[in-house]
């Protein structure tokens, strides 16, 4: 099939329509068109609500800070690490685990997950 014939057989896209959606910003419900929502998504970074996270400590961290430290942070590993550092926990060279798997700073944390901060250890 030639390109001109194929293009003629494809139906034209309908004209853009205005879709009204509700979303919450600063605890008030706003209405916006789809174009405004797209603009907000591009110009404003996504923010999460703060959650309290209980982070289990291991090795020398447990000796310094106790069995666990509770911090309030967004549900991302990077946010939890920043919150831990702001409370005086030394996070240098430490790894954080969600459940039984190591995580990266950009990883999201599911609500209710078990978090562990594990320092580098050597043994023999």
CA nearest neighbour of 31 among 19, 47, 17, 15 = 19
Give the separation between CA 90 and CA 87, rounded to whole angstroms.
9
Strands 28-32 and 21-25: antiparallel
Indicate the pTM of the whole model: 0.61
Tens of pLDDT along the chain (124 residues) come to: 455 544 455 544 444 444 433 444 433 334 444 444 444 444 445 556 899 999 999 999 999 999 999 999 999 999 999 999 999 999 999 999 999 999 999 999 999 999 999 999 866 5
Q: Would you kindly state where each structural domain of the chain is located, as residue ranges?
A: 15-46, 51-118
CATH code reported for the domain at 51-118: 3.10.20.30
């Amino acid at each position: 099939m030639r390109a001109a014939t194929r293009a003629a057989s494809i139906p034209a896209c309908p004209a853009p329509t205005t879709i009204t959606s509700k979303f919450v910003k600063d605890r008030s419900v706003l209405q916006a068109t789809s174009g405004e929502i797209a603009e907000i998504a591009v110009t404003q970074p996504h923010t999460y609500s703060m959650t309290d996270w209980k982070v289990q400590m291991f090795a020398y961290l447990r000796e310094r800070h106790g069995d666990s430290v509770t911090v309030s942070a967004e549900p991302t590993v990077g946010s939890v690490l920043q919150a831990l550092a702001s409370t005086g926990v030394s996070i240098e060279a430490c790894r954080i685990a969600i459940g039984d798997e190591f995580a990266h700073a950009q990883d999201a944390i599911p609500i209710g997950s078990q978090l562990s901060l594990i320092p580098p250890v050597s043994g023999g």
